[in-house]
A and B are shown apart, each in its own frame.
Chain A
């Protein structure tokens, strides 16, 4: 047998001296650790944990605030954009209206000008016609005078003319 029973008994027999010293050392260790070592460590750790959780909370809060701010900004931007669009639309409408107006007025004006031009032309034309008529009348008279003078240079010719005229008159 490699390990004799006696040796194993030796191994598992408690010894008074060691028990005594272990007791003293362990209890004083427990006292020192509990009294002097653990408290500062734990309080520091707790404080730091509190700091960290506070900082995290703060960060969360700031983040939320930032988000709100951003949302607000977005809203403002959106509104501004809408307003701009509105203004642009209105401006475009106004511009279109003005152009339309101008066009209408121009047309009217043009029509007026054309009308007055036509009237002038007409009156000019009438005047010209009247002058032309007078001129033509006097010319015709002159021509008629000359023709008559020519035609009536002989008796035959006078008779023929008279008959012709008479015929024409009848026809009319």
Chain B
């Protein structure tokens, strides 16, 4: 026990050290500008085409992830061709200067600006560069974007998280397959209480009339998917660190899943409650029906925003606290900011579980309302 504790504290301090160095390098070493907090934080919570570990932005240690573009034909190449490409500065229509990376080699003809890939285009009056430019209007490029199916940092983290979920759950199921219905050991001992928790306290509690087993696979998947990915997001180094569950695309997808399941499981009773709410005077129905229809969408919408905001906020707080050191350019601030960041990180471990539980629980609640039988 003592040893485990010691080991974990060493690991934590190591993680923090790496975290510091990575922030420091990203924002200082290359350019001698003032440390930009919002830039740094935004950079860390958004998707990227590389998995930066340590060192300078373009010369440091980084895992370059594959870029997959669908632009007439399929193009697959390493993101290295952007990060090690040509740095170009242009003046936008608002007279501000914008800097982006122009791809070289297989990435020729494309540019990377704020981790988004654009097609370079010729402009009528500029003729210095035959390859073309990004044309900035009102602060962002107006070039076309090819369909980007790249394995970004979030996608890679998604694969890893899914793999971890599969390993955990299949490991547990293999234990029962080979040992029969015995007292669980190993992974099964860890997984079983969680599955029982989902079955009894989430599914059975909210989906009545014995219909909960039908929705259990979805609830288990959504719980483990969110929880594992939340936890991975809290690890600042390679296998984690992506803000996957704090990404609106992912939370929107999960919320849409719940919406689709709710709508397609809705029985006569559910639709009757929406279009002809019992006990409501006929004259009020023109008001009630639109409200109820909007309600169908606001519930999963709230799910989407809740998960996105909670996880992103957690990342922002930790990054902001660490950034204090770089804002004041004084390591002594670490005495304040590191314990605070540690505290928030521990809190985020709780939030990681809580948000997974809430998402699964509310999904179960919505599905439960959709399949509920009339009881009056």
Which one, A10-18, A93-101, A111-119, is touching chain B? A10-18
Residues of B within 8 A of A47 (CB): 180-181
Q: Which residue of A lies closest to B67 (CB)?
A: A17
Residues of A within 8 A of B47 (CB): 15, 18
Residues of A within 8 A of B308 (CB): 12
Which one, A37-45, A77-85, A128-136, is touching chain B? A37-45
Given contacts A10-B114, A41-B192, A44-B181, contact A30 B38 (CB under 8 A): no
Contact A14 B170 (CB under 8 A): no
Which one, A20-28, A64-72, A138-146, is touching chain B? A20-28
Residues of A within 8 A of B199 (CB): 42
**In the assembled complex, B154 has its CB within 8 A of some CB on chain A:** yes
Residues of A within 8 A of B148 (CB): 15-17
Contact B173 A25 (CB under 8 A): no
Contact A37 B169 (CB under 8 A): yes
**In the assembled complex, B338 has its CB within 8 A of some CB on chain A:** no
Partner of B249, one of A6, A15, A32: A15
Interface size on B, residues (CB 8 A): 57
Contact B176 A26 (CB under 8 A): no
Contact A29 B165 (CB under 8 A): yes
Report the minimal beta-carbon distance from A138 to chain B, rounded to whole angstroms. Answer: 129
Residues of B within 8 A of A41 (CB): 169, 172-173, 176, 188, 191-192, 195
- CA separation between A13 and B249, bound complex, in Å? 8
Interface string of A44-70 (1 = CB under 8 A from B): 110110010000000000000000000
**In the assembled complex, A171 has its CB within 8 A of some CB on chain B:** no
Contact B218 A30 (CB under 8 A): yes
Report the minimal beta-carbon distance from A4 to chain B, rounded to whole angstroms. Answer: 7
Residues of A within 8 A of B182 (CB): 44, 48
**In the assembled complex, B86 has its CB within 8 A of some CB on chain A:** no
Q: Which residue of B lies closest to A33 (CB)?
A: B221
Contact A10 B172 (CB under 8 A): no
Given contacts A10-B114, A34-B217, A38-B217, contact A21 B158 (CB under 8 A): yes
Contact A45 B149 (CB under 8 A): no
Chain B 90-122 interface residues, beta-carbon cutoff 8 Å to A: 114
- CA separation between A19 and B45, bound complex, in Å? 17
Most chain A CB inside 10 Å of its own CB: which residue of B147, B154, B180, B249: B249
Report the minimal beta-carbon distance from B241 to chain A, rounded to whole angstroms. Answer: 16
Chain B 215-259 interface residues, beta-carbon cutoff 8 Å to A: 216-218, 220-221, 224-225, 247-250, 252-254, 257
Contact B253 A30 (CB under 8 A): no
**In the assembled complex, B27 has its CB within 8 A of some CB on chain A:** no
Residues of B within 8 A of A44 (CB): 176, 180-182
Given contacts A21-B149, A37-B173, contact A3 B221 (CB under 8 A): no
Report the minimal beta-carbon distance from B158 to chain A, rounded to whole angstroms. Answer: 5
**In the assembled complex, B166 has its CB within 8 A of some CB on chain A:** yes
Contact A29 B257 (CB under 8 A): no
Partner of A18, one of B45, B154, B192: B154
- CA separation between A3 and B316, bound complex, in Å? 12
Contact B181 A25 (CB under 8 A): no
- CA separation between A3 and B165, bound complex, in Å? 35
Q: Which residue of B lies closest to A9 (CB)?
A: B140
Contact B170 A32 (CB under 8 A): yes
Chain B 125-182 interface residues, beta-carbon cutoff 8 Å to A: 139-140, 147-152, 154-155, 158-159, 162, 165-166, 169-170, 172-174, 176-177, 180-182
- CA separation between A96 and B191, bound complex, in Å? 82
Given contacts A21-B149, A26-B253, contact A7 B173 (CB under 8 A): no
Report the minimal beta-carbon distance from A22 to chain B, rounded to whole angstroms. Answer: 5
- CA separation between A70 and B25, bound complex, in Å? 81
Closest 6 CB pairs of A and B: A34-B217, A44-B176, A47-B181, A37-B169, A40-B173, A14-B249
Given pairs A22-B249, A43-B176, 7 additional interface contacts (CB within 8 A): A4-B38, A6-B139, A18-B152, A18-B250, A28-B162, A34-B218, A47-B181
Supply 13 A–B pairs (Cβ within 8 Å), ascending by A.
A4-B139, A11-B46, A14-B252, A15-B47, A16-B147, A16-B148, A17-B150, A21-B159, A22-B249, A32-B166, A33-B169, A36-B170, A47-B180
